[in-house]
Amino acid sequence: MKEITRISPDELARQQIYIDQIAEENAEYFARTGRRRLAYTHTYGCQQNVSDGERIDGMLAQMGYGRAESVEEADFILYNTCAVREGAEDRVYGNAGALKHLKNRNKELILAIAGCMVQQKSVADKLYKSFPYIDLVMGTHVLHRFPELLFRVMKEKQRVYELPESEGVVAEGLPVLRSDSIHAWLPIMNGCDNFCSYCIVPHVRGRERSRRPGDILREASDIVAAGYKEITLLGQNVNSYGKNLEGAPGFPDLLRSICGLEGDFRVRFMTSHPKDATPELFKAMAESPKAARHLHLPVQAGSDQILKAMNRKYTAEAYLEKIHQVRELMPDIALTSDIIVGFPGETEEDFEKTLELVKTVGFDSLFMFIYSKRKGTPAERMDDPIPAEEKSRWFSRLVALQDEIMEAKHRAAVGRTVRVLVDGTDPKTGRLTGKDSGVLRVRIEEAPESLMGQFAQVKLTSASRHWVDGVLV
């Protein structure tokens, strides 16, 4: 069994000293100027990254920074970046470029970039050369050393680029400033060992490594005690939780333990790789009333040839068999998926098979992406003869199909009574909104503001493509 590098309490104590020193420096600044220093952070990408961002925010809060609402008023700006598709990277380049004038205006301003994007050497090199005013660039494996790195920028007044190659570490005990008061993200593992041929994640987030069950349960209890109503367990492939961790339960048992905690809350999880989603998992969900009736099971494509080229290790038929098993145990379950359109070598015939599969399953929601070439992945070197315009046409066909399916699902839901977690307001109508145990977004007529953050029984009365409306019962 391969040893996982766990950050020692001594190392965290060492980082705490930097946090305290920065806090002191920021307190002096306040005493001198009467103004509190403010930090602006923005996270791109997946929930895993959002969760990292919440830990960065936690450290910044301990350092005495207030939260800046805009980059203009900030003394410290950090972009926590995503590398999964080119579009996410382009936005960061654009935003980083726009920071130059702020730095010209205020030489004390500290600019930082963290996350998956900079963990790619070519990107870090480009940032170093083309964005000389960026002070701190920090890869995914040194999040726990953020205090030390920021301290160095402040004291040594020089650029700090810390991007060690690493299999990845597990750091417990970092402070967390959660971005929401109703839903909480709870990472149970990090990294990925699947190496799908299109995907950058295993290259930037290191090998799969699980947190200890005791640490996870402690954090889950804290989240419930703090009044959160929904916990989402996070991992690139939660179904392989516990591998490489002696004595750890498998994911189904971990899910059972978390659902077994006292309190009124819901548990979701993502992401599940279809090759590892087992009947034991479906059973654990079915037997746990607190487990949300939702399974996100990314299929990526409907053609076996493309699935093989993607290195997904299942066929369309095997995928449909899993869907069948889940629905047999939980007929009301909401199913969602990810699909990539235009993978290298995909033909129109392959694409039709994706449409066919989407029609057969009838997903409750679908995340659709046009293939984006990522440096260093096997797919980068595959022949990709289909022009971008053709891929866009395929993409539009898929979106149109899914729109139709969603509208039919919404209409079929009318008349049902569902338990909604109220968590938002519709800007158009001013009505409170929320989500059922699946992925149905519901607008509630005449609901009192006091319901925000609470569960409510709602009878669904009408539906459109994007919304379902209901009344309190």
Of the two residues 46 and 420, which places its CB atom closer to ligand SF4 in the complex?
46
Decide if residue 269 touches ligand 5AD (CB under 6 A).
Answer: no
Decide if residue 296 touches ligand 5AD (CB under 6 A).
Answer: no
Rounded least distance, CB 374 to ligand SF4, Å: 9
When CB distances are held under 5 to 8 angstroms depending on the partner's kind, the choice from ligand SF4, ligand 5AD, none that residue 45 binds is ligand SF4
Of the two residues 82 and 357, which places its CB atom closer to ligand SF4 in the complex?
82
Residues 6+ apart with CB under 8 A from 231: 183, 184, 186, 220, 223, 224, 258, 265, 266, 267, 268
* Edge-to-edge strand ranges of the sheet holding 136-138: 66-67, 38-43, 76-81, 110-115, 136-138, 160-162
175-204 positions binding ligand 5AD, by CB under 6 A? 198-199
Cα gap 230→27, rounded to integer Å: 36
Report the residue number whose CB is nearest to ligand 5AD. Answer: 338
Rounded least distance, CB 340 to ligand 5AD, Å: 5
Decide if residue 306 touches ligand 5AD (CB under 6 A).
Answer: no
Where does this chain touch ligand 5AD (CB under 6 A) — which range of 164-172, 217-225, 364-372, 383-391? 364-372
Decide if residue 298 touches ligand 5AD (CB under 6 A).
Answer: yes
Q: Is 330 left (phi over 0), alpha (psi -120 to 50) or beta?
A: beta
Decide if residue 115 touches ligand 5AD (CB under 6 A).
Answer: no
Rounded least distance, CB 201 to ligand 5AD, Å: 7
When CB distances are held under 5 to 8 angstroms depending on the partner's kind, the choice from ligand SF4, ligand 5AD, none that residue 338 binds is ligand 5AD
Q: Is 245 exposed, middle or buried (0-12, 13-18, 19+ CB in 10 A)?
A: middle
Rounded least distance, CB 123 to ligand SF4, Å: 12
Place of tokens 């993409």: 395
When CB distances are held under 5 to 8 angstroms depending on the partner's kind, the choice from ligand SF4, ligand 5AD, none that residue 82 binds is ligand SF4
Q: What are the respective helix, strand and coil percentages of the chain, to the nearest 5?
A: 45, 20, 35
Decide if residue 311 touches ligand 5AD (CB under 6 A).
Answer: no
Report the residue number whose CB is nearest to ligand SF4. Answer: 45
Decide if residue 300 touches ligand 5AD (CB under 6 A).
Answer: yes
Say how many C-beta atoms besides its own lie within 10 A of residue 6's C-beta.
Answer: 15
Rounded least distance, CB 370 to ligand SF4, Å: 16
Residue 239's alpha-carbon distances to 243, 310, 428, in angstroms, are 9, 19, 39
Rounded least distance, CB 255 to ligand SF4, Å: 22
Cα gap 311→314, rounded to integer Å: 9
Q: Is 149 left (phi over 0), alpha (psi -120 to 50) or beta?
A: alpha
**What angle separates helix 47-62 from helix 9-33, to the nearest 10 degrees?**
60
When CB distances are held under 5 to 8 angstroms depending on the partner's kind, the choice from ligand SF4, ligand 5AD, none that residue 205 binds is ligand SF4
Of the two residues 166 and 194, which places its CB atom closer to ligand 5AD in the complex?
194
Q: Which residues bind ligand SF4 (CB under 6 A)?
A: 45-46, 48-49, 82-84, 116, 200-201, 204-205
Closest CA to 208 of 251, 246, 244, 159: 244
Decide if residue 84 touches ligand 5AD (CB under 6 A).
Answer: yes
What token pair was written down for 133?
């005013």
222 CA to centre of own chain: 21
- Cβ contact 304:312 at 8 Å: no
- Could you write out the DSSP letters of every residue in 152-183? HHHHH-S-EEE----S-EE--------S-SSE
467 CA to centre of own chain: 24
Of the two residues 178 and 409, which places its CB atom closer to ligand SF4 in the complex?
178
**Site map (CB under 6 A) of ligand 5AD, residues 368-397, x = contact:** -x-xx-x-----------------------
Q: Give me the residues that bind ligand 5AD (CB under 6 A), please.
A: 84-85, 198-199, 298, 300, 338, 340, 369, 371-372, 374
